[in-house]
Amino acid sequence: MILIKLNDMVREKERTLYWLAQNSGVPYVTLWNLSKKETQRSIDLPVLSRICTALNCKPGDLLQYVADAEDKAILTLVESKEAKRKVSVAEKAEAK
């Protein structure tokens, strides 16, 4: 899961969401929704760009990856498939 750390960055830059809305051209309601973990669904790249420009930061300053249950399940699946592939490649090499 990717979290948007908008509140942290606004606080660090000693600004408010209202200031950011005025200076980025991003509607306040959009910024408010992005600032709440419960309402974070996605962020458009143009919105991310405007926020970063106004706050003079990089996307990596605003985004944080935190593995949730779904991410862990995907990782387990990928690792399982990779292990099976390695075994298959080793068996083919031995057969030659």
Q: In this predicted model, what pLDDT tens digit does every residue of 39-91 receive, in sequence order?
A: 788 899 999 999 999 999 999 999 999 888 888 999 999 999 998 888 887 77
Q: pTM for the complete prediction?
A: 0.77
The DSSP 8-state label assigned to residue 13 in this structure reads T
Q: What is the pLDDT, as a whole number, of residue 11?
A: 96
Q: Residues 9-19: pLDDT tens digits?
A: 999 999 999 99
- Cβ atoms < 10 Å from Cβ of 34: 23
